[in-house]
Amino acid sequence: MKDKYKDKINNPEIVGELERLYKLIKLRDDICHSGVPTFIYVDEFDDTQKYYEDVLSTIRSSYDVLKKFI
């Protein structure tokens, strides 16, 4: 099965988007496990709305890139 999808797995566009999403998830995970409740941490951001807009923008743009391979 791995060979069947080898060309897609090795595709630099897919790998790049997956790495971008991983970094986003890793950042969120680091915040959640920092010992500070996430809602307090996020409330302390001066630009909370911008943070969430950036998260949604990253997810949307990655989806747009990845959906052409699905």
What whole-number percentage of the chain has pLDDT above 90? 0
- 55-70: average pLDDT: 86
- 5-9: average pLDDT: 64
Q: What is the pLDDT of residue 46?
A: 65
How many other C-beta atoms lie within 10 A of the C-beta of residue 64? 10
What does the alpha-carbon distance between residue 36 and residue 62 come to, in Å, rounded to a whole number?
Answer: 29
Question: What is the largest distance, in Å, between two alpha-carbon atoms of the chain?
Answer: 48
The answer on pLDDT for 40 being more than 50 is no
Q: Per this entry, what is the length of the chain?
A: 70
The answer on pLDDT for 3 being more than 80 is no
Global pTM reads: 0.56
What does the alpha-carbon distance between residue 41 and residue 49 come to, in Å, rounded to a whole number?
Answer: 13
CA distances from 8 to 2, 13, 19, 23, 54 (A): 10, 9, 15, 20, 27
